[in-house]
Structure 1
Amino acid sequence: MNRTEKAEVISSLKSRADGASIAIVTDFKGLTVEDMTDLRRQLREAGVDYQVVKNTLARIALEGGTHEVLKDGIKENCAVAFGYDDPVAAAKVLSEYGKKNKKFQIRFGSLEGKFMDENAMKELSKLPSKPELLAKLLGTMNAVPTNFVCLFANLERKFLYALTAIKEQKEAA
């Protein structure tokens, strides 16, 4: 790889890292090509970029960026996953894949520039995703007016029952 190719890799990696809300460093030692292809497919469906990187190029690319906290830990064989919209989605896919394939391991990550170790990444993966949180929020917001309408409907119904009872009482008398 010559200097211009290295510069292109560094700039590409830097732009991905700066646009990502989460960056997760993983160990892929021992995975087959089929395993890596399957993992990349799952990550692509979740909107996550996954790239095997040379350590020195990754350290240079991460220097001075949002995820600079990762550069000192990049050693041996590693790949970096960049999540853009939903940081939980990236952690979920990688965590689930790690449960299925024992050779795969999450090392550490950076969420909006804050360092997170392997355990913190696993805890992050247990959180509900962005669409799930939005659905819960909308359900909660919808519950208030629905309950309000039901309350007034019950008041009118009880008033109607009282009038009907008075009518029946007067008719009987």
Structure 2
Amino acid sequence: MSEAAIAKKASLVDQVAEKFSQSASVVIVDYRGLTVAEVTELRKQLREAGVEMKVIKNGILSRAAEQAGLKGLGEVFTGPTAVAFSNEDVVAPAKIMDEFASKAKALEIKGGVIENKVASIEQIQALAKLPSREGLLSMLLSVLQAPVRNVAYAVQAVVESKEEPAA
């Protein structure tokens, strides 16, 4: 192999290792058996959620994972492998891949990374069951509003009870 090819592969390993390090979550899947239309639809859904999906050679992925300090991830890099990187939303790639895998049985989740820690298939699927970021924020807002709402109801009840005898 020429020195230029080796340098090019080393550069690619560095780029992928940087993606692993910078991503909030990464989901690794086996896409063998998906039709072109299904892959196109999957990429579209991921792109709309701000998730980048790449098909990268397993050798480069395993070297990049090792370089990024993700021990134990190398064993999932067998067969056709696609990787979904999300820099912002931790839940989005897991949720989209899990929903898509339930419809397209050919898609198989092999593992992933959640906030720079290697995650199992079960952890990725548990993450997929969480509500989206917006859903979590609305739940938090609802919880924060509840005490204020209860105080408002109590004050309203006191006001109404004071007005009843006067009527």
Give your verdict on TM over 0.5.
Answer: yes
The offset of 1:137, in angstroms, is: 0.6
The offset of 1:150, in angstroms, is: 1.8
1:126 aligns with 2:129: yes
Change (3 A) 1:114 1:18: closer
Q: Which residue of 2 aligns with 1:58?
A: 61
Q: Which residue of 1 aligns with 2:16?
A: 13
* Counterparts of 1:103 and 1:73, CA distance in 2: 17
Larger radius of gyration: 1
Q: Which runs of 5+ in 1 are unaligned?
A: 165-173
How many residue pairs match? The answer is 164
The offset of 1:88, in angstroms, is: 1.4
The offset of 1:27, in angstroms, is: 0.3
1:85 aligns with 2:112: no
1:27 aligns with 2:69: no
Which residue identity lines up with residue 160 of structure 2 in the other structure?
R
The alignment's TM-score, normalised by the length of structure 1, stands at 0.85
Q: CA RMSD in A?
A: 1.8
The offset of 1:73, in angstroms, is: 2.6
Q: Which residue of 1 aligns with 2:163?
A: 160
Q: Which runs of 5+ in 2 are unaligned?
A: none
The offset of 1:12, in angstroms, is: 2.1
* Counterparts of 1:19 and 1:125, CA distance in 2: 20
* Counterparts of 1:16 and 1:114, CA distance in 2: 14
1:76 aligns with 2:62: no
The offset of 1:93, in angstroms, is: 0.3
1:37 aligns with 2:53: no
The offset of 1:66, in angstroms, is: 5.4
Which residue identity lines up with residue 78 of structure 2 in the other structure?
K
Asked whether the 8 Å contact 1:89–1:129 carries over to 2, the reply is yes
Greater Cα shift, 66-75 or 125-134: 66-75
Asked whether the 8 Å contact 2:20–2:116 carries over to 1, the reply is no
The alignment's TM-score, normalised by the length of structure 2, stands at 0.88
* Counterparts of 2:42 and 2:69, CA distance in 1: 25
Asked whether the 8 Å contact 1:22–1:82 carries over to 2, the reply is yes
* Counterparts of 2:153 and 2:136, CA distance in 1: 26
The offset of 1:152, in angstroms, is: 0.9
Asked whether the 8 Å contact 1:69–1:113 carries over to 2, the reply is no
State the SS of the aligned residue for 1:85: coil
The offset of 1:82, in angstroms, is: 1.3
Using the aligned pairs only, state the percent identity: 30
* Counterparts of 2:33 and 2:155, CA distance in 1: 65
Change (3 A) 1:13 1:80: same
Moved over 3 A (4+): 66-69
Equivalent of residue 151 in structure 2, options 148, 153, 158? 148
Which residue identity lines up with residue 58 of structure 1 in the other structure?
L
